[in-house]
Amino acid sequence: MPLASRRLYAHNALMPVTISGPKRLRGEITAPGDKSVSHRAAMFNAIANGSATLTNFSPGEDCASTLDVLRSLGVEIDRGPGAEGLGDTIHVSGLGMHRLTEPAEILDAGNSGTTTRLMSGILAGRDIFAVLSGDTSIRSRPMGRVVSPLRQMGAEIFGRKDNTLAPLAFAGGKLTGMRYEMPVASAQLKSSILLAGLRADGETQLTQPAQSRDHTERMLSAMGAHVETERNNVSVRPSELEAIDVYVPGDISSAAFWMVAGLVHPDAEITVRGVGINPTRAGVIDALKMMNADISLENERDAAGEPVADIVVRSSNLKGAVIAGDIVPLLIDEIPIIAVAAAMAEGETRFEDAGELRVKETDRIAATADWMTAAGVRVETTTETMTVHGAGRLLGGTFNGHHDHRIAMSEGIAGLISESPVTITGAEIASISYPQFWTEIEKLGGAVE
């Protein structure tokens, strides 16, 4: 379905959802395909030589936005149902590094920051004119962080507010490699520059202030690119890519909701199958363990270059913790749901060095503080920090989903354990990453009305 109609559907579906919890929470869930890996598998194969099959592709709208953008650039993509229990299968016919065609329309990234920032690296310095934009959230998120280094490499890119906001217009230019010190530990920024570096003259060298997710480096290397990583430094030399089939592991960012549900519910055991546990993504496991969580990993295995495991969680007496420093980029998307664990824990949990949360799909520090305060939890915030005073309880109520999938789903998990039901307005936003989320709650025994 074209993006415009998908979004229309989402806007028409402004149905509040009400969640209440069962006495026992038991069950097994298969995590949906990882969003970060799905975006990359589609984009990188689109500019590779040959064609590829992607298995267990993310069901979320964000990755569908990436497919739509690639189609508008002339890439042939077929999508069909996957095998039982798996996400859709995608066939991508790669155009090679230099053959994307000029789009006749504005490229619509929807709500997806990954689409906007990674595609910026792909569109930079090409022989075509393209305009990339997205929804209200995307048009207010910082794009200067990618535009500025791409312009330094020689790309002609223009945007609103002195080239810092989308819509972004790409008008060619000639790319040259450079050394770049990244101001933030952002995988989106790193990936954008690496993708431009594939087509630049000479080497591109990056230093990141801390590790961020490394799916780009892993996948580009597997496709034959000259990418080298040494601690926080990554470099790339001009390369062609060879198409590769990708089995997309389950999304740990989606699994995190069930992990926290199982830990905070007084009588629970939940198994989440097939979760990607790449160390640059798995900070949530370490953070919850610091909070005294009963989490075990079973069937650890490798799926197409990414480590995968089944994760088993059981009811736990959680304690507050300090979550700060280099671990933060490794669990950045999970902070809204870890905050639910913090609310149910004994003592206070401090999230530090978390200013990036303010520029996600919404300001996630403000949104979390807003709904949790209404749920009877004391939350203190500064620009970079959030302190949750664990009360061991959450009141119910009606909370706004803040047009942010991870906020709405965190409120949904709260409904499984709160003293009275939780109603989430704008709950359909979960489909950005996890359309089946509300049905899965029912599968575990929760009531969804």
Q: Known catalytic residues?
A: 333
Which of these, 173, 151, 183, lies nearest to 164 by C-alpha position? 151
Contact predicate 321/291, CB 8 Å: yes
Shortest approach of ligand S3P to residue 341 CB, angstroms?
Answer: 19
CB of 188 to ligand S3P, least distance (A): 4
Q: Which is nearer to ligand S3P, 310 or 333 (CB)?
A: 333
> Minimal distance in Å, beta carbon 116 to ligand S3P?
10
Task: Give the residue with the Cβ less far from ligand S3P, 44 or 316.
Answer: 44
Report the residue number, 193 or 416, with the smaller CB distance to ligand S3P.
193
Least distance between ligand S3P and beta carbon 148 (Å): 15
Nearer to ligand S3P, 268 or 282 (CB): 282
| Residue 345, C-beta contacts closer than 8 angstroms, at least 6 positions apart | 291, 318, 319, 320, 321, 390, 392
As a whole number of angstroms, the distance between CA 416 and CA 196 comes to 45
Pairwise CA distance, residues 176 & 185, whole Å: 23
DSSP labels, 305-370: TEEEEEEEEE----B--EE-GGGGGGSGGGHHHHHHHHHHSEEEEEE-S-GGGGGSSS-HHHHHHH
> Whose Cβ is closer to ligand S3P: residue 55's or residue 212's?
212
- Residue 410 CA to residue 365 CA, distance in Å, equals 13
Between CA 313 and CA 261 the distance in angstroms is 9
Answer whether 434's CB lies under 8 Å from 409's CB: yes
Q: Which residue is nearest to ligand S3P (CB)?
A: 36
Taking the complex as a whole, the smallest distance from the CB of residue 117 to ligand S3P amounts, in Å, to 7
Q: Using CB under 6 A as the criterion, which residues of the chain lie in contact with ligand S3P when the complex forms?
A: 36, 114, 186-188, 191, 212-213, 332-333, 356
Return d(Cα 12, Cα 335) in angstroms, integer: 29
Provide the β-strand partners of residue 391: 346
